[in-house]
Amino acid sequence: MAGRARYEELIRQLSAFGAVKREMSRVMPAECPGGSGAVLALLGRHGDMRMSRLAELLAVDMSVTSRHVAHSAERGWVERSPDPADKRSRILRLTPAGRAQLDELFERTTRLLADRLSDWTDDEVGQLTLLMTRLRASFDDCRPAQSRPPAPPADGRATRTPITTK
Amino acid sequence: MAGRARYEELIRQLSAFGAVKREMSRVMPAECPGGSGAVLALLGRHGDMRMSRLAELLAVDMSVTSRHVAHSAERGWVERSPDPADKRSRILRLTPAGRAQLDELFERTTRLLADRLSDWTDDEVGQLTLLMTRLRASFDDCRPAQSRPPAPPADGRATRTPITTK
DNA sequence: TATTGTTATACTCTATAACTATA
DNA sequence: TATAGTTATAGAGTATAACAATA
């Protein structure tokens, strides 16, 4: 358990963190806003899935997810095919065009980070990523849990706060 | 210089970080949205200042700053007095009510963090804060620079870009 | 009756541009 | 002419609630 001063300083940093995200979004192609980018990134990482699962990964209401996905689908980046097992559901899949767009996003953001973080060592970047991942996991653990998967097989530098199915 | 895989993983974490911020803002009093909270926090930390300086600290356009400050002033948290040295400017100051509101904000967010991060050590929280501070500084250093002070000596966990009165 | 997904509405945050009042 | 600050407008993100189709 950390001291109050620690928390307050962390709060300040969290609060001021918007600036970094804003600068990241400024290098994104105008046609692809952040919401769509997040959709593509998650589909690229986790593969095909349903709306509800995507909403959970985005940690956002499904109504919001629906709009982001609609935007992506309109541009041909995502395909929504009916789920044969449940006609209410739709299976989302990244199209080749979506994959290309995703590559472009990573290309741009990676270039930005490589520029800004040129004086960071590989290990320092890894450290920050690890701690941010863990922070997010610590918050996730306390969510109204829908269908949190039982300890997703941590893939390398994954979450240090193991997820227990409640 | 870190490897591309490092950057991509960091990008994913940055992208997913909104969830943490959203949860933080959910514990805020309805009357005090995030923008006002940031204003109060910066005035509390750095003391009285002008609009332009606050806008720079917020890393946001002055038009945005103006609205947040107006919101805070309407609620009696911030006082805008004319600058005798320059009649175009206004000096911002935290009122006692603003200080009380700020205390309340820290109280709530600290409580949230203490809950979520109960299994983090003091040192781990410090580590994360330090790295986030440094990340932000790395981005700041590349900004269109208005009155950025000349590379101050980093002192541990404080902002690495200390503020000097222009 | 409950769940999946969509749509309508409203609110916050942001940037750009036009405007004022000083400098 | 340039700068400090305000306001109007527009765009992105989010949540809540009402709705349709299916389970």
pLDDT digits (tens, 9 = 90+) for B115-139: 999 999 999 999 999 999 999 999 9
pLDDT bucket at A160, cuts 50 / 70 / 90:
very low
Give me the pLDDT at residue A143, please: 67
Whole-number average pLDDT of chain A:
88
- Chain A residues with beta carbon closer than 8 angstroms to that of B126: 2, 6, 9
pLDDT > 90? residue A19: yes
pLDDT bucket at A44, cuts 50 / 70 / 90:
very high
For residues A135 and A153, give the distance between their C-alpha atoms in angstroms, rounded to a whole number.
18
For residues A165 and A108, give the distance between their C-alpha atoms in angstroms, rounded to a whole number.
37
DSSP state of A87: T
Which residue in this structure is represented by tokens 């409640």?
A: A166
Give strand letter and number of the nucleotide nearest B83 (CA to C1'). D4
- Chain B residues with beta carbon closer than 8 angstroms to that of A120: 1-2, 138
Asked if the Cβ–Cβ distance from B19 to A139 is below 8 Å, we say: yes
Which residues are bridge partners to B129 per DSSP?
Answer: none
By mean pLDDT, which of A124-128, B110-114, B162-166 is the weakest? B162-166
For residues B52 and B42, give the distance between their C-alpha atoms in angstroms, rounded to a whole number.
13
Tell the burial category of B32 from Cβ atoms under 10 Å away from its Cβ (0-12, 13-18, 19+). buried
10 Å Cβ neighbour count for A15? 19
Cβ proximity of A72 and B43 under 8 Å: no
pLDDT bucket at A152, cuts 50 / 70 / 90:
very low
Q: Which of residues 67-96 of A touch strand C (CB under 7 A)?
A: 67, 69-70, 80, 83, 86, 88-90
Give me the pLDDT at residue A157, please: 39
Give strand letter and number of the nucleotide nearest A35 (CA to C1'). D13
pLDDT tens, position by position, B6-36: 999 999 999 999 999 999 999 999 999 999 9
pLDDT > 50? residue A23: yes
Asked if the Cβ–Cβ distance from A114 to B7 is below 8 Å, we say: yes
Write the residue in B3, B60, B120 that is nearest to A122 by C-beta: B3
Give me the pLDDT at residue A159, please: 38
pLDDT > 50? residue B165: no
Q: Which H, E and C letters describe chain B, residue by residue?
A: CCCHHHHHHHHHHHHHCHHHHHHHHHCCCCCCCHHHHHHHHHHHHHCCEEHHHHHHHHCCCHHHHHHHHHHHHHCCCEEEEECCCCCCCEEEEECHHHHHHHHHHHHHHHHHHHHHCCCCCHHHHHHHHHHHHHHHHHHHCCCCCCCCCCCCCCCCCCCCCCCCCC
* Residue of A4, A17, A24, A56 to mutate when probing chain B, most B C-beta within 10 A: A17
- Chain B residues with beta carbon closer than 8 angstroms to that of A107: none
Write the residue in A4, A8, A129 that is nearest to B13 by C-beta: A129
Asked if the Cβ–Cβ distance from A136 to B2 is below 8 Å, we say: no
Quote the Cα angle for B59-B61-B62, to 5°. 110
Phi, psi of B33 (to 5 degrees): -70, 170
Cβ proximity of A26 and A36 under 8 Å: no
Write the residue in B20, B58, B135 that is nearest to A20 by C-beta: B135
Say how many CB pairs under 8 Å bridge A and B: 182
Cβ proximity of A147 and A56 under 8 Å: yes
CA B67, distance to chain mean position in Å, is 16
Any strand D atom closer than 7 Å to A87 CB: yes
pLDDT tens, position by position, B82-93: 999 999 999 999
